[in-house]
Amino acid sequence: MAQSLFSASWYRVADLKPRLRGHVRVHDQMFRGVPWHLLEDRENGRFHRLSPAAYFIVCMMDGNRTLRDIWDLTEQRFAGRTPAQDDVIRLLGQLHGADLLVGANLPDFGELERRAQDTGTKKLMSRVKNPLALSLPLFDPDRLLTVTLPLVRWLFTPFGAVLWLVLVAWGAVTAAVHWDQLTGNLSDRVLATENILALLLVYPVVKTIHELGHAYAVKRWGGEVHEVGLMFLVFIPVPYVDASASIAFREWWRRAIVGGAGILVELALAAAALIAWTMAEPGLARAVLFNVALIGGVSTLLFNGNPLLRFDGYYVLCDAAGLPNLGTRANKYLAYLVQRYAFGLDAAESPVVAPSERLWFVLYAVASWFYRLVIMVAIALFVAGRFFVIGV
């Protein structure tokens, strides 16, 4: 049974006259020939993606029109593609839940103060709710990044790209030539107590340079970076920067470069470390170089740079392929196929916006699930080879 356009709850919201708060900004983007729109909450740095119909409804919310008037205008504009009234109610609820709507023409300053307090409380709770992934903001780096940007701006030029390609190619050839030496007795070498201690010391340094790559990429194209801090992953300090300003970039390739900047930095570090490793004498320096290459090379290719896991490579793929929220929407599409064709639920809703997304969704959902399973088993077996109980 097809979903009805009308809702029994419409009368409860039809006479409301909502409008967006003054600090909300709208950014336009194009994905696979379909326009999308981003609402940016400048107070907390969060973004909310809207379809064309939802965007039209939001644009009509000027504080004077009622939702009944807006619904009539939407019917005229979208004809057979008019969203159902229940969808409009859900949109209204989501905007209200995100604290993006106000119902009066003048701001309620008491409300603004309460909102600021609530935002601070929510940020604090989000940082401490998972004891194994605590985050601690340290300072606002935007001014420092602005001052130092001229020192690294050349890296974001064709010359910088060519230099990166030469370095990584040199590192790849070096790895191939010394492959047996690099991989011989690998598990015992990596999981040896002294090497684990070296890894714990090297990892935060590599990740600091990784995060600087994201930060400078945002600054290169006019974005702002207002938070740098430490995240304690299983009590191991790992630096982070808030590069979310790049979400508002109109050009997909700029967003992709920001998302992939950390990957590019780590691959360059791994290549340089491998080259230096071949020239170093056995000892502490050589062990450090080996671990830099291990973190920047192997872990980047298997984890952070792999689009099948939701790390940097995933966001690069979303931007490069024009598939926003790919992982979530791919899983929803598989659920839709099961509901629609296995259980015959005609009311099931498909997340597909452009026809070409269907094959992407199926392939990605299956491949990402399989890859996560393989990686989980491989890690368990690798660790079990040295520490059987932990591996199990």
Question: 127-167, pLDDT tens digit by residue?
Answer: 555 555 677 888 999 999 999 999 999 999 999 999 999 99
| Whole-number pLDDT of residue 120 | 55
Helix (H, G, I), strand (E, B) or coil at 250: coil
Round to whole Å and give the CA distance between 203 and 232.
12
User: Cβ-count burial of 273 within 10 angstroms (0-12 exposed, 13-18 middle, 19+ buried)?
Assistant: buried
8-state DSSP, 15? T
pLDDT at 119: 55
pLDDT given at position 112: 44
pLDDT band for position 374 (50/70/90)? Answer: very high
Torsion angle of the four alpha carbons 154, 159, 165, 166, in this order, in degrees rounded to the nearest 10 = -110
Question: Is 14 within 8 Å of 72 (Cβ atoms)?
Answer: no
Residue 122 has pLDDT above 70, yes or no: no
E runs forming strands in the chain: 19-20, 24-31, 34-41, 46-50, 101-102, 133-139, 228-233, 236-241
Q: What number is the average pLDDT over the span 175-190?
A: 86
Q: Give pLDDT, residue 25.
A: 85
* pLDDT, tens only, 204-225: 999 999 999 999 999 999 999 9
Q: Average pLDDT of 356-377?
A: 93
Listed ranges 129-138, 183-192, 221-230; the one with the highest mean pLDDT: 221-230
Average pLDDT of the chain to the nearest whole number = 85
Residue 365: its pLDDT value, please?
A: 96
Phi then psi for residue 280, to 5 deg, are -85, 150
pLDDT of amino acid 102 = 78
- pLDDT confidence band for 107 (50 / 70 / 90): very low
pLDDT digits (tens, 9 = 90+) for 47-70: 888 888 888 898 888 888 888 899
Beta bridge partners, 38, equal 27, 49
Q: Which of 62-66, 107-111, 231-235, 363-367 has the highest mean pLDDT?
A: 363-367
| pLDDT given for residue 125 in this prediction | 61
Give the Cα separation of 205 and 136 in Å (integer). 17
pLDDT of 292 over the 50 cut:
yes
**C-alpha distance from residue 242 to each of 138, 203, 345 (Å):** 12, 19, 42
Quickly list DSSP for 323-381.
-TTHHHHHHHHHHHHIIIIIS--TTPPP--SSTTHHHHHHHHHHHHHHHHHHHHHHHHH
Task: Choose the weakest-confidence range: 39-43, 277-281, 388-392.
Answer: 388-392
What's the pLDDT score for residue 106? 38
2 φ/ψ angles, rounded to the nearest 5 degrees:
-70, 150
- Determine the pLDDT at residue 104: 46
What is residue 51's three-state secondary structure?
Answer: coil
Q: Is the pLDDT of residue 87 over 90?
A: no
Q: What is the pLDDT of residue 114?
A: 57
Q: For residues 295-300, give the mean pLDDT.
A: 89
Q: Is the dihedral of CA 313, 256, 230, 46 positive or negative?
A: negative
Task: Please tell me the predicted confidence (pLDDT) of residue 1.
Answer: 36
pLDDT for the residue numbered 8: 79
| pLDDT score for 194 | 83
**Which 3 state secondary structure label does DSSP give 272?**
helix
Determine the pLDDT at residue 289. Answer: 94
* Least-confidence region, from 110-114, 118-122, 132-136: 110-114
The arithmetic mean of pLDDT across residues 286-315, rounded, is 91
Report the Cα 77 to chain-centroid distance in Å: 33
